């Protein structure tokens, strides 16, 4: 199994006490190197401007890549940039592109990208929710255009709805989006009535749902829809902030719930996409829980 990261992901400084901190990637990489010694680590390349502009406006790309001379600057109340942010963002997005190329070429069919900043809240024209570039959307559009895929699935189990990913692909039948997320949280999107061109599948879960409701929702609703879509490539927005220890949400999942869903996703990838699956880190803000969940996720993928 392949894994991508880059030292630049540690240089995106969000200031003291911000939950989306450089240590998030460091603890994930350290835990995976210790617990999953069979992973083949690769350094993520920088995404090219043309790859970013498949899903983002030129104005957003210019905003994200604009030099920051010193200090930390606010894009909004929660989304910040520093002198190292642009480099971190392009390598985070580049990880997904490199992983798509690798799993499409084989022989390795599964990849995990331990990168930050996360991406699934960034829309075509607006960075938000800790996200600068939409890493998973960049990867999906690249797979569609460069590998000629007609059925790409994005599964998002982050506790927050991936509003940016949904908005980017809401009129693109080649990309289907499947998500559970907690009700009442930022960004207050992702209702079941949001269907796009029939390619959007959202389920809101109330606070305190726990693993029983989470697993039943996927097993009874979303996984059958994903199976029916028959994806040629499965992309995963792997956010672990639904864990019961996470400070930003209250969905109350255990580590084993993430491992269970990962096993189910891998089975679908094996049925329909020759096992091709690329997972990219999104949220998760308790460092111990994040590391534990990332290890469980990667081990369930065979790492």
Annotated catalytic residues are 121
The helix-helix angle for 85-105 and 135-147 (nearest 10°) equals: 40
Question: Cα(86)–Cα(37) distance, rounded to whole angstroms?
Answer: 30
Question: Cα(116)–Cα(121) distance, rounded to whole angstroms?
Answer: 13
3-state secondary structure (DSSP) of residue 182: strand
3-state secondary structure (DSSP) of residue 42: strand
Strand-pairing partners, residue 279, are: 112, 236
| Residue position matching structure tokens 């642009």 | 86
The helix-helix angle for 287-300 and 23-35 (nearest 10°) equals: 40
Q: Are strands 73-74 and 80-81 parallel, antiparallel or unpaired?
A: antiparallel
Question: Cα(293)–Cα(281) distance, rounded to whole angstroms?
Answer: 11
Question: Cα(165)–Cα(144) distance, rounded to whole angstroms?
Answer: 15
């Amino acid at each position: 199994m392949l894994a991508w990261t880059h030292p630049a992901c540690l240089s995106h400084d969000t200031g003291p006490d911000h939950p989306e901190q450089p240590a998030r990637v460091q603890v994930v990489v350290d835990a995976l190197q210790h617990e999953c010694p069979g992973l083949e680590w690769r350094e993520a390349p920088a995404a090219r401007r043309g790859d970013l502009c498949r899903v983002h406006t030129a104005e957003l790309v210019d905003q994200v890549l604009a030099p920051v001379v010193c200090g930390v600057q606010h894009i909004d109340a929660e989304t910040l940039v520093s002198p190292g942010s642009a480099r971190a963002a392009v390598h985070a997005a580049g990880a997904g592109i490199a992983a798509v190329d690798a799993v499409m070429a084989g022989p390795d069919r599964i990849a995990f990208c331990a990168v930050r900043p996360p991406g699934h809240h960034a829309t075509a024209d607006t960075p938000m929710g800790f996200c600068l570039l939409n890493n998973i959307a960049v990867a999906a559009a690249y797979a569609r255009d460069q590998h000629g895929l007609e059925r790409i699935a994005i599964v998002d189990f982050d506790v927050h709805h991936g509003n940016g990913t949904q908005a980017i692909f809401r009129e693109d039948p080649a990309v289907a989006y499947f998500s559970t997320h907690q009700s009442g949280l930022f960004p207050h999107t992702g209702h079941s009535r949001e269907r796009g061109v029939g390619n959007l599948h959202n389920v809101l879960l109330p606070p305190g749902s726990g693993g029983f409701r989470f697993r039943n929702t996927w097993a009874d609703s979303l996984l059958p829809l994903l199976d029916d879509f028959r994806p040629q490539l499965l992309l995963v927005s792997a956010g672990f902030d639904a864990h019961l220890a996470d400070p930003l949400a209250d969905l109350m999942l255990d580590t084993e719930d993430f491992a269970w869903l990962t096993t189910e996703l891998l089975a679908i990838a094996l049925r329909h996409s020759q096992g091709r699956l690329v997972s990219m880190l999104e949220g998760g803000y308790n460092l111990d829980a994040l590391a534990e969940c990332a290890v469980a996720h990667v081990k369930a993928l065979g790492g």
